[in-house]
Amino acid sequence: MKTIGLTGGIGSGKTTVATMFSELGVPIYIADIEAKKLTNTSEAIKSELTEILGEKAYNKNGLNRKYVADQIFNNEQLLKKVNQIIHPRVAEHFKEWAQQQTGIYCIEEAAILFENGGYKNCDYTILVTAPKQLRIDRILKRDDTTETEIQSRMDNQWPDEKKKALADFTIENIDMEMTRAQVKEIHEYLLKTAQ
Ligand code: ATP
């Protein structure tokens, strides 16, 4: 089973593209969702996060996300430590999950793939791109947020050009049907070559 990393900046359409692959029968692992689950189920993550963030990091409902967000806001060092606790466990969990899937290849959708070196564990990578203003407009339409907030999230991600240089495939997601055609093309290529 080959593993494919699928990424793209905020609002590029990662989830939209992942859904298209899923409709072709490809198993999809959504790293953000699995990471959220693992922070509440992994005893190792719980104890290490409590160690660096304090007892308040967890409440009776699990990870206290608001508290954690407040702690790591503007504290890059702490954010880095939190990621160093969570990311390797997600990578390990993905590996185990991938071994249980059937088919030629499976996909891990992750917001951060190149920035943290995670792409090195993938057999292939797919980058989803779209013009910046289009991405901003999509997020403004989808979420209750502001342009400034989106901009600051974009600033935390690598620019597309830097990611493009490392990606095996780039999908330009502007028009749904053109995107679907690109997905089909990559799918057929992978079915032939990723054996
Ligand atoms: P995030 O990083 O915020 O999770 P994402 O990269 O996963 O975003 P999506 O959630 O797939 O992006 O897409 C963002 C929004 O744009 C969604 O509301 C989606 O329906 C819409 N969208 C995505 N692609 C297209 C497209 N080609 N045409 C029109 N709307 C689109």
Positions in the chain short of pLDDT 50: none
Per-residue model confidence (pLDDT) at position 88: 92
Distance from Cα 55 to the centre of ligand 1, integer Å: 36
β strands within the chain, DSSP E: 2-8, 28-30, 58-59, 62-63, 105-109, 124-129, 169-172
Residue 73: the pLDDT is: 84
Task: Output the residue whose Cα is nearest ligand 1's atom 23.
Answer: 13
- Domain 1-27+104-195 - what CATH class? alpha beta
pLDDT score of 4 = 98
Q: What is the pLDDT of residue 60?
A: 93
CA 17 to chain centre: 12
What pLDDT, on the 0 to 100 scale, is given for residue 194?
83
Calpha distance 22→13 (Å, rounded) = 14
**Ligand 1 lined by 101 (C-beta under 6 Å):** no
Q: Supply the pLDDT for residue 139.
A: 97
> Given this model, what pLDDT does residue 191 score?
96
- In this structure, the dihedral spanned by the alpha carbons of residues 5, 7, 13 and 15, taken in order and rounded to 10 degrees, is 50
Residue 89 gets which letter from DSSP? H
What is the pLDDT, as a whole number, of residue 74? 83
Do the Cβ atoms of 82 and 49 come closer than 8 Å? Answer: yes
Please give the distance, rounded to the nearest whole angstrom, from the Cα atom of residue 87 to the centre of ligand 1.
Answer: 24
Annotated binding site: 11-16
- Residues in the chain, total: 195
Tell me, using a 6 A CB cutoff, whether residue 163 lines ligand 1: no
Provide the ipTM: 0.98
